[in-house]
A and B are shown apart, each in its own frame.
Chain A
Amino acid sequence: MIHSKNVVLTTLVAALFVIFPFMVRSEYLLNLLVMFFLYVTLAESWNLLGGFAGQISLGHSAFFGIGALITRLLWVGKIPISLALFGGGVAAALLAGIVGIPCLRMRSAYFPIGTLALSMIAQITVGNIFPLAGSLSSEYIVGYSLSSRYYLALLVAVLTVLVVYQVVNSRKGLALVAIRDDEGAAEAMGVKTFRYKILALLISSFLTGLGGGIFAYHQVSYYYYTTFELSWSFLPTLTTFIGGLGTILGPIIGSMCFLALSEIFAISLGEIHILIFGFTFILIVLFLPGGLMSVTQWTYKFSFKAFKRRYF
């Protein structure tokens, strides 16, 4: 499935992001890009479970939050950030193993509600245990460098996209898509559906946990429970659906649109960008299940190339 053209293009984009901090000195843009990488990480990992395996989760904020929390606590406890990040991912996967797997036992239509309940439990519990903001101590603030955050976020985002790409373009990916399209039929064909769903959930939550770690590493000070807020589950759902469910490029496009809109309306009250995104989301669920990605396929359909292929 790997086309040489895609590889060249991807490498080019990645290289561009790598040299970007050397060319642009704007901290605003770099921070924006860190958030972009974070959104891509979240959306792409959500997409593995929601888009490819068809298990719509509204509870990824729990995995995001636990990843952020554990990474932060480990990192502040003098453990190197790479290890702390890994610890956050493992913690998220563990949480998914303990409470997410039972949720997968539900009939798949109830999975969203079950995970929503799970994330609300996590939010309330953490809000009760850690009611205060976690600020960095002065030595950490002195040593704060944006470029290390930038590269780590880039690394995690690229890693996520690669992992999802690899999983999807393998035998496992076929099994996941089969489960999404018809679980009963997949089961009848000998696909061990429950096992594959668990696999997708664990990978997805691990990557989301890494994303949480990036957030914890990037922010100087935040209330611990904010990473458990439901908006962190809604964000990947929205961006993936709008970009294109079950595609690799879709979540990236969706994240880009979301970030652009949220920057345009950054100073308004009541989050107009969510308003616009919510409305678009409804329209897309109703009329355009393929998301923005299917629009690009339309342009191909009506392009000269397709015309030539069909008639000449």
Chain B
Amino acid sequence: MGQTLVYGILNGALYGIIALGIALVFGVMRYLNLAHGSFIILGAYGSLFLFHLGIDPFASIPLISILLFLAGAVLFKASFSRLTILPEGNKIKNSLLISFGLMLLIDNLATLIWTGDERSITPSYSGFTFGLFGLRLPLIGLMGVLLALVLISILHLFLTRTYFGKSVTAVSQDHEAASLMGININQTFLISFAISLTLASIPSVLIGLKAFSPTAGIQWFNKGIIVVMLSGIGNIYGVFPAGLFLGIMEAISVFLFGAPYREVTGLAVFILIMILFPKGLFGKRIEA
């Protein structure tokens, strides 16, 4: 039981990081990026490629971040920027449709290039574990938790201490008022979107160290969106605890119903939340 909980917490941290990227775009721009998981998988392939060149997966994070940032900026300019003027409901729906098409594109391109085989990055330390009070703590999972904490601190400092971060917060609270205050909404959106894909680089390495296949993106997106709904839309700080909550809940469900139904639990909880609390469980209830 204790061991299951440990794995739950370690997985939960990963879910938290995935959700962070989705929450940033969803909370600030009301864009729902269904292809977020596919970008994570793309990043994982990039990291695998670099690993074969002899670069450590964790060392490849910066390079992948930069690539994803550029990809995000180009992508936003090319497609999503047309939606900025739409009202909220249409914006969510149309961004969802576009990213749905993108997801199909990326997944099938990935299958075409790398075949449908399941792959994973296997550095020498991939199976390494620490022992503590009779529990096994895998090194990679701990790295995930560490990275998640670092990432959230950086994002927090960015959003509250920098001028641009404050403009992102302002746009997320009321984008009309923000534009009246002289904030360039298009630019804010562009950079938020690019940052959201940059945030995908860390889960992509962590998932790369587990196992991934071209069509796994949607599953990881699901984890992310469940966590976002749990934490409440527009509430970036609730994401990490909500991720841990989902991880622990999954661990408990594995304990009760067996491993095959692990995914089902999260999804069922998600549907329940959507019906009962359409604005999410914890967190501020920001009305857009």
Say if the beta carbon of B101 comes within 8 Å of chain A: yes
Are A106 and B104 CB-contacts (below 8 A) given A120-B222, A125-B264, A269-B112? no
Q: Give Cα A270 to B110, complex, Å.
A: 8
Q: Which of B82, B104, B264 contacts A275 (CB 8 A)?
A: B104
Say if the beta carbon of B176 comes within 8 Å of chain A: no
CB–CB B32/A113 < 8 A: yes
Residues of A within 8 A of B96 (CB): 56, 109, 112-113
CB–CB B93/A117 < 8 A: no
Are A286 and B79 CB-contacts (below 8 A) given A109-B93, A275-B109, A278-B104? yes
Minimum CB–CB distance from B73 to chain A (whole Å) comes to: 17
> In the complex, what residue of chain B is closest to A274 when comparing beta carbons?
B108
Residues of B within 8 A of A282 (CB): 79, 98, 101-102, 105
Residues of A within 8 A of B113 (CB): 270
Say if the beta carbon of B100 comes within 8 Å of chain A: yes
Minimum CB–CB distance from A151 to chain B (whole Å) comes to: 33
In the complex, which residues 108-150 of chain A have their Cβ closer than 8 Å to any Cβ of chain B? 108-110, 112-114, 116-118, 120-121, 124-125, 128
In the complex, which residues 96-114 of chain A have their Cβ closer than 8 Å to any Cβ of chain B? 99, 102-103, 105-110, 112-114
Residues of A within 8 A of B181 (CB): none
CB–CB A271/B108 < 8 A: yes
Q: Which of A113, A121, A125, A285 contacts B94 (CB 8 A)?
A: A285
B133-141, B159-167, B265-273: which one contacts chain A?
B265-273
> In the complex, what residue of chain B is closest to A125 when comparing beta carbons?
B264
CB–CB A109/B92 < 8 A: yes
Say if the beta carbon of B275 comes within 8 Å of chain A: yes
In the complex, which residues 248-275 of chain A have their Cβ closer than 8 Å to any Cβ of chain B? 269-272, 274-275
Residues of A within 8 A of B104 (CB): 234, 238, 274-275, 277-278, 281
CB–CB A124/B108 < 8 A: no
CB–CB A271/B111 < 8 A: yes
Say if the beta carbon of B97 comes within 8 Å of chain A: yes
Chain B 255-285 interface mask (CB, 8 Å, partner A; 1/0): 0000011011001101100110010000000
Are A117 and B102 CB-contacts (below 8 A) given A106-B274, A112-B96? no
CB–CB A270/B112 < 8 A: yes
Residues of A within 8 A of B126 (CB): none
Chain B 239-253 interface mask (CB, 8 Å, partner A; 1/0): 000000000000000
CB–CB A230/B218 < 8 A: yes
Q: Which of B89, B112, B264 contacts A121 (CB 8 A)?
A: B264
Chain B residues at the A interface, C-beta cutoff of 8 Å: 32, 79, 82, 88-89, 92-94, 96-98, 100-105, 108-109, 111-113, 115-116, 218-219, 222, 225, 260-261, 263-264, 267-268, 270-271, 274-275, 278
* 11 interchain pairs, CB-CB under 8 A: A106-B275, A109-B92, A120-B267, A121-B267, A125-B264, A237-B100, A270-B108, A275-B109, A278-B103, A285-B97, A286-B82
Please name the 7 residue pairs, one residue from A and one from B, whose CB atoms are nearest each other, closest first: A270-B112, A278-B104, A270-B111, A282-B101, A109-B92, A281-B101, A278-B105
Knowing that A105-B275, A269-B115, A281-B100 are A-B contacts, what are 8 other residue pairs whose CB atoms are under 8 Å apart, sorted by A's residue number? A108-B93, A120-B219, A125-B261, A270-B116, A272-B108, A277-B104, A278-B102, A281-B101
